[in-house]
Structure formats: C-alpha cells, structure tokens
Structure 1
Amino acid sequence: MPSADQLVADARKLIPMLKAQAADIERERRVPADVISALADIGLFKLLQPRRFGGYEYGFTEFVRLNLELGQGCGSTAWCATIAMIHNWLVALYPLEAQQDVWSDRDAMVTGAYAPNGTCEAVAGGYRITGRWSFASNCDNSTWAVVCSMLPPAGDGGAPVPGWMLVPRSDFEIEDTWFSAGMAGTGSKTIRIDAPITVPAYRVLTVPVINSGDAPGSHVHANPLYRLSFTGAAPFTLSSVPVGIAKGALEDFTTMARDKMASWAGGPPRPMAGLHNVQIAIADAAAAIDAAELLLLRDTRHMTSRLAIGDLPTLDDRLMFRRDHSYAATQSAHAATVLFEALGANGGDLGSPIQRAWRDTNVAARHISLAWATTGAMYGRHQLGLKPDGTF
C-alpha cells in the first residue's frame, strides 16, 4: 500500500498531463476513460475504500491534499475523481451485503444524485422506483449510482423519509443534459430510470441513518472514519477542488507575468511583471488560496484528532466545517476572479487556462452545498443562539 505522501506525489506528477488535456475534457464535457485509468493506476480511488475490499482507509486530510493537486491540472477531472473517492467512503456505510454487491468488482466506480425525485413504492424485500436525477457527475465512467427517493412511511402516522439507493449501471440510462459554462468536463448528466426497478432493502439507507454516526457499515469496519456524518464531512470533497483550481491558475498567471509584455493605456507595451495591478492580483490571490487551504486542512486534522480519541465532531465542529467548506470555495472563486480581471480583455482568450479557472471556480462555489449565503448564515445563526438551518 502506498503511503499518503506517495499518493500525493504521484498525483502531482499527473498535473502536466491533466493540464494538456483540460481543454479537450471541457470540449467533450466528460473525463475520458484513459484519464480515469491514469488516476486508477496510482491507486487514487482506493483512498477512502475499506481495506476489507482492497482500499487504503486514509482520511479526509489526505483526501483534501489530493484534491489540491489534481485541481491544479484540470478542475473537471479533479471533481470527477473526488466524486469517485467520496462514494467509496459512502458505500462503506451500507450493510455488508450492499458493499459486496458493489465491490464484487474492486474497481467499481460510483456516482450520485441526491435531490429526492421520482416515484417510490414499498414492495416485498425493497422499493420499486422510477425517476430522473440530475447532476450525476462522472456518471459516464461509473458502474453504480446512488439516487434519492422519498421512502413511504413505515407505519400509520409516519412521514416519508429520504432514502439513498444503490443501483447498478444496468438499471439506469444516462440523459445528456450537462451544458455548463463552468466545470463543463464533469459530465454531470441526468440518471433516468423509466421502467420500474426494484432496489433491495439492504441497498437503501435513509439520510438520518447516514448522518447518525451509527450506519450499518460502521459495524463492519473498525476504522472510525466510517462513523462520520455525510453532511458534516463529505463537503470537503467539493470545497477542496476549487482551491486546487485556483492554485493552478495562480501558478499559470505568475509564470505568464514573468515573461509577458503587456499593453497599457499610457504608452507602448511594458513588462507585465512591472504592472502594479498584476503584483496586487498575485498577492490577493495567493492570500485567498492560502487561507482556504489552511482552513480546510486545519478542519480535517481536527476531525481526525476527534476520531483518534473515540469522539465524533461536535455540533460546533460541524458548523465550523460547513462554514469553512463554503468560505474556501468562495475565496477560490475570488482568487481566480482577480487573476482573470488583471488580464483585461486578454483574459477572455479561450486558449487561456485562467479563464477556465475563473469559470470553473465560480460555478463550483455556487454548488448548493457551498453557497455562502446559506452556509455562512447557518453558522451565524448558531453563534447567535438560533437553530441553524441547512445540512451539517
């Protein structure tokens, strides 16, 4: 098993290849199989997978570190990779029988679409469902999917509850609905189940159970990693990718600025490095990126320290994590924006990686789980003694 440092080093070596393919990946609106294979070859997707099924059982600090590297090469690839990695953690929360179904192929890849949708009927041994589920990133490369439906009440007077259902690729179609200004290469298309299928009960988990710290898989695997709640831990998945994208943009911008001549209104072209607004943009972006990275790594290390003593993150911890997930993504978008704006009209050149980073970070930061207007307010409400709204 490679060390975490080796995995990070191997991911870093892939950055030039990812940079070279980023424009094609965006144009094709999906990550190609050969890029997925290159990531699999270094063991990337085994990061959070249980050792019982050939994985490494590393934690969220290592997870964030990998995303920070991959994002520097291609934001869409990093997003798809992180979706695959987090789902190997999520599958480990299910009953053993479900895990055995998925990992009968140790290299299985899972996508997910979590907004409740479709029809759901309780039947003998499980649930019968149909529906459409949008934003299933990396679905083209996935062999399984998690979809969400409202489960019928278990008894009289009960209320429906959202359930996450594991379905194999043979049970769903992919509808090509992903045409986005940013993160275009993630292939976040729509999963469609037109003819009813039956999902066995052991492949269904309710959202409250997933977030309970006592999911069935926590009794299968001894590592306390599998006691974490999805809502408090999983957003590290999405928040760290735009930080990596912004880091890559800063490196590209700085390299360009060292040698490029820039037009300016006061006379003939002059060295870009001598322009005050360029210098300030570098400082501004670097500070924002450093702050985002430090917050995420501080939080994952704190989370790991809680697990090491047998505790789970407290409510205060989880709300701080959620604040920092959103703030890190927001600062990443800010960093990419100041770099993009410092290029003037030249920044709009579609051959420039800076404009892609600007589009990607701004779209990523607007993901529903990272939106500052709601996530920041959730933290603020808690600090003011009010009940927080949202997922944490």
Structure 2
Amino acid sequence: MGEVTVLERAAALVPYLREQAPLAEQARRVSDETYDRLAEAGVLRMCTPKKYGGDELDFQTQCVVLAEIARGCPSTSWCATIMSALAWMASTFPDETQDEIMGDGDPRISGVLAPIGMLTPTDGGYLLTGRWPFNTAGDGSRWILLSAILDGVPHSAIVEAGQVTRLDDWHASGMAATGSSTVVADAVFVPSRRVLSLPGMINGEYAPERHNADEPYFNLPLATVLAVNAGGTPWGAALGAMDAFLERLPGRAITYTMWDDQSAAPVTHLQVGEAAMLIDSAAAHVKLATAVLDAPADGVPSMHERVKARTHITYSTGLARRAVDTLFAASGASSIQSGVPIQRFQRDIQALSNHAIMHEQTGTEMYGRFLCGHGLTTVLV
C-alpha cells in the first residue's frame, strides 16, 4: 500500500470519526470497529517492515496521516499514534518477535514506556510484575509493551494483551476516548526474545538478529521517533477545530452586539486569521522535526538534531493549542454544550499539550539549556 493510498484512506475516515467522537468519549475508548477501520486503511502498519505488508512511511507522511485522523477525532488519532509508533518499536526486536506481532499484517500493539515494573530472570526469559497507568489504546491492542527494571536497568518487555489485567479507571476531561487505563501484571512470563534494554533503544541500539538490522529507518533513536511521530495529533486537532468553527459560523450572531452575522465582524476576521497562521506555523514546525528523521545531515541524527526535533514538536503543540483557544474564545458561551464539536477539540488539545513529551515550556527550556552548553535533564531525546 503506497503512501497516497494511506493518506486517502485516512482522509476518507474523517466523516465517520466525527460521528463517532461523542460516542467514543462517552464509552471512554475507541470502538473495535474504529480500530478495524484504522487497520484496513493501513494506518497501524504504516511504519512497519515491508516484509509484513508495512509501508515504512517517511515521518512527514506519518504525521500528515495522523493529522487527518485528528481532524475527525483527536483521541482516535492519539491511539493511532501510539499503535503506529509501537509497531515501529516492535520492528526493532528479533525476527521471531516481529513474526509474532506483525506476521498477520495487522499489528495492534500499545505500551507504556515508564519503567515502573520489575523483571525477574527465570528459565527462558523473565517474570514481569507491575502496575502501569496510562496504557493508551490498550483496549484495541493484541500486544502491550511494558517497561520495567531488570538488574537496575530499564527494559521493555512485550506481552500478549490477554496476559495482563486491565482496570476500568480511565476518567478524563480531555482525550477521554483514548482508553488510557491501568494494566496490571502479576508474574507474567516473557520470553527473552521479547525483552530489550530501554537505554539502548533510546540511543538507537536494537536487536542484531533481525532482517532489518542494517536498515537506517529501523535504527533511528527511539525517543526521537516517538516525539516526532506524536506531532500529527495536535496539528490535526487544530485543523479539526477550524473545520468545526467555520461550519458553525453561518447565521451566527455575536450576542449583545450589532453584529447579527458573526462572519462579517472584523474581530472574527482577526481571530480566524490568527488561528490559521498559528496552524500553518504548527505544521511548519512538525515538518522541520520530521526532516531530522527523514533526512538527517550525517545519516544518523546528531544530539543537536534530536533535541531540536523534540522542541519543534513541543513548540508546534503550543501553537496548535493557541489556535484552538483562539477559535474556542470566538465561539461564544453556547459552544460549551456537549453537542458542539469545538468544545471537545478544546478539551482534547488542553489535555494533549500537558503530556510530558508534548509540553511546550519543557521542550523550549531543554533546547535553550542545550544551546547554552549545559547537560540535558532528560534521556528522552
């Protein structure tokens, strides 16, 4: 499946996703039907090896695809972001593991990167025990990557979704349909082939015994891949908010003013123009970030490029948030009603922009600190 087809199919999903968004929010998860549609569109395998029917899409195209999905439902886009990124991550494990997860051409894998569990050695592998909150898209997953400590070092372990217990504890004001509930593992056996060192992956060191071990695409630094892949959802959420605002605009008045046609008011022109420029600027920063992975200066991104790429994504997220805030402020008090789509976009972008890897001030401070010659305060670059 070529990239144009993936883009076209993602765009074709938008009307369906818009209809499903309020239902998904009420259910606090993306439906099985929606996951099936994402899989049929090729979204979940867009960055997996061609050997398994994947496309190995460049990162700019990935972000455009995820932005299209976010136009319809940011929560669904975020679930697709997690699943596509984790499928790429699974592509760095040994071939036997790749065969298990992607052999049927339909990889559905979620995960939690925070190493808050424990791995204990046993015959043939390890026993995994722990409790991991925020397992986004876990409801639609067949496999889950969970990070844990082994001999004092963080590792990531892949387990079958049915091996862990899923709690019903996801209740959120934004990104409510992501189903980001807690999963619990109690001495779950994980074969050695499904465990890799997390610090190694962050620095682009993966399993050597795999068919794609010499392919640059599957040897990129993990944290940069995760950060850049995440850039499509906030950008798309802002695009969706603009769509929602403009569709509601005809026939609206500005209450307690002389303007019986909001679309004719100069203040509206200013608000829409500012929001449009913020969205275009957000898109430009996403594309600058994707270039670091799609065309690194020396074949492998330097630390400077990695830090800058993550900062482009965090800054883009801040721009997208300001665009949505501007449009929401122009929507009037009636827009707080649950049946008005822009209120959902506004709540979703507020939640997403507070995600640790998306936070604007954190990213900007990190880049400034790096430029001033000081050490980084995070390993996730």
Q: Same fold (TM over 0.5)?
A: yes
Specify the alignment match of 2:219 in structure 1. Answer: 227
Specify the alignment match of 1:78 in structure 2. Answer: 77
Specify the alignment match of 1:11 in structure 2. Answer: 10
Distance 2:81 2:208 in 1: 21
Specify the alignment match of 2:159 in structure 1. Answer: 167
Aligned-partner SS, 1:234: helix
Distance 1:218 1:255 in 2: 53
Distance 1:119 1:389 in 2: 24
Aligned-partner SS, 1:118: strand
Identify the match of residue 292 of structure 1 among 265, 282, 297. 282
Q: Which moved more, 1:19-28 or 1:206-215?
A: 206-215
Identify the match of residue 368 of structure 1 among 356, 365, 371. 356
Identify the match of residue 273 of structure 2 among 283, 289, 292. 283
The alignment's TM-score, normalised by the length of structure 1, stands at 0.92
1:219: how far off?
A: 5.1
Q: Answer yes or no: is the 8 Å Cα contact 1:94–1:216 preserved in 2.
A: yes
The alignment's TM-score, normalised by the length of structure 2, stands at 0.95
Distance 1:369 1:331 in 2: 15
Q: Answer yes or no: is the 8 Å Cα contact 1:243–1:293 preserved in 2.
A: yes
Task: Write the deviation string for residues 175-231 of structure 1: whole angstroms up to 9, x where unpaired.
Answer: 11111100000101111113x122122211111221232311685214311111111
Work out whether 1:139 is the aligned partner of 2:129.
no
Distance 1:298 1:325 in 2: 9
Q: 1:266 to 1:61 in 2, by over 3 A?
A: closer
Query: What are the residue-to-residue correspondences of 1:350-365 with 2, within 5 Å?
Result: 350-365=338-353
Specify the alignment match of 1:261 in structure 2. Answer: 252
Specify the alignment match of 2:302 in structure 1. Answer: 314
Q: Answer yes or no: is the 8 Å Cα contact 1:218–1:224 preserved in 2.
A: no
Letter in 2 for 1:312: V
Query: What are the residue-to-residue correspondences of 1:141-156 with 2, within 5 Å?
Result: 141-152=140-151
Identify unmatched segments of 5+ residues in structure 2: none
Aligned-partner SS, 1:354: helix
Work out whether 1:200 is the aligned partner of 2:191.
yes
Q: Answer yes or no: is the 8 Å Cα contact 1:218–1:227 preserved in 2.
A: no
Q: Answer yes or no: is the 8 Å Cα contact 2:46–2:57 preserved in 1.
A: yes
Aligned-partner SS, 2:253: strand
Q: Answer yes or no: is the 8 Å Cα contact 1:240–1:329 preserved in 2.
A: no
Count of residue pairs the alignment pairs up: 379
Distance 1:209 1:162 in 2: 10
Distance 1:20 1:104 in 2: 32
Work out whether 1:349 is the aligned partner of 2:348.
no
Alpha-carbon RMSD across the aligned residues, in angstroms, is 1.7
Distance 2:215 2:157 in 1: 24
Q: Answer yes or no: is the 8 Å Cα contact 1:218–1:226 preserved in 2.
A: no
Task: Write the deviation string for residues 91-110 of structure 1: whole angstroms up to 9, x where unpaired.
Answer: 01111222122234331310
Identify unmatched segments of 5+ residues in structure 1: 153-159
Give the share of equivalent positions with the same residue, in percent: 29
Q: Answer yes or no: is the 8 Å Cα contact 1:80–1:137 preserved in 2.
A: yes
Aligned-partner SS, 1:377: helix
Aligned-partner SS, 2:230: helix
